[in-house]
Structure 1
């Protein structure tokens, strides 16, 4: 029976044999990330539409599951969650700009809460090396949240697109780093 988890040598060999494809993938992702940052409103709306479709598909799957467990007492709750997801997804899909506004507020709230928790954690870790980095990270998260909130609703035009673009570009850089390291790695014999 073949082991489902590849060994380190199998991974090294696969990376070495396919390093060019990883490099191409990285370059493509960086280009896509740059386009997302360059056209933040279009990217923000695209992110919103992807979320809407995910809610609709996820809600449909939840509805199917609700009917599969119909005999249990939780049927109605499963069905209500499914309906909420489907209706929410449809509403966002029909009105993507309103969905983008709502998602921007959610992102700002997440940054704010993350920043507060990072600050509290940093203060608890004052006796350990590196705690100032966590403190700084928390401060930056709070600053970003405040910038989004104070610029709202105009910030909704670019926040999601820029965040998505940066994330995609960094994924690209990681694939390039993997590709270049794999190119120079000794293939397993």
Structure 2
């Protein structure tokens, strides 16, 4: 019995170099970009819902990771770290259940953590920028100031902004990611 070479869409591309494979699929990248932009615009239109969906999804994922950690802890009883894994897993499961059961309150907590994290990151970047004495000094300081101001804006609006910040940032990220894919696809097409 002899093997026949595969036919169809994938078989046509297998013999091409990677760059040519990308160019041959430019329309798929364009489609991905359009879908991402549309999803981002929808998230921006319904930021509260996008926030709640994000928080519930995060809660489910965190709970699953916690369960896996607990199972690994029980399976690794001979190891010294097993009890720590089990305790850590319990915390993950509890946090996941909280996010799933109380997504509004969880979004408020996550918004505060996000804002505080951005503020702290901005301060660290700005300080690091002032300590640099090369070409990276300006961009690092600018990045720190912008990130810090975003964090300060989120923290100063907390808790009132807890139900829309995550959805707003998700929407903005999806729109910019989509635009990036669209430009990538059009560039591939122009070089085809």
TM over 0.5: yes
Match status 1:113 vs 2:120: yes
Which sits farther off after the overlay, 111-120 or 130-139? 130-139
Structure 2 CA distance for aligned equivalents of residues 54 and 157 of structure 1: 20
Which of 180, 183, 186 lines up with 2:189 in the alignment? 183
Tell me how far 1:156 sits from its aligned partner: 1.0
Gaps of 5+ in 2: 1-15
Contact 2:47 2:165 in 1 (8 A): yes
- Matched with 1:81 is 88
- Matched with 2:34 is 27
Tell me how far 1:168 sits from its aligned partner: 1.2
Structure 2 CA distance for aligned equivalents of residues 19 and 41 of structure 1: 34
Gaps of 5+ in 1: 1-8
SS of the residue corresponding to residue 157 of structure 1 reads coil
Root-mean-square deviation (CA, aligned residues, Å) is 1.5
Structure 1 CA distance for aligned equivalents of residues 139 and 36 of structure 2: 29
Tell me how far 1:51 sits from its aligned partner: 0.8
Q: Give per-residue Cα distances to partners, 1:69-119, cap 9 Å, x unaligned.
A: 122122211111111111110111000011101100111011111110111
1:18-167 correspondence to structure 2 within 5 Å: 18-125=25-132, 127-167=133-173
Tell me how far 1:137 sits from its aligned partner: 2.0
Number of positions where the alignment pairs a residue of Structure 1 with one of Structure 2: 177
The structure with higher relative contact order (CA 8 Å, sep 6+) is 1
- Matched with 1:3 is none
Structure 2 CA distance for aligned equivalents of residues 178 and 52 of structure 1: 33
Which structure has the larger Rg?
Answer: 2
Change beyond 3 A, Cα 1:82–1:124: same
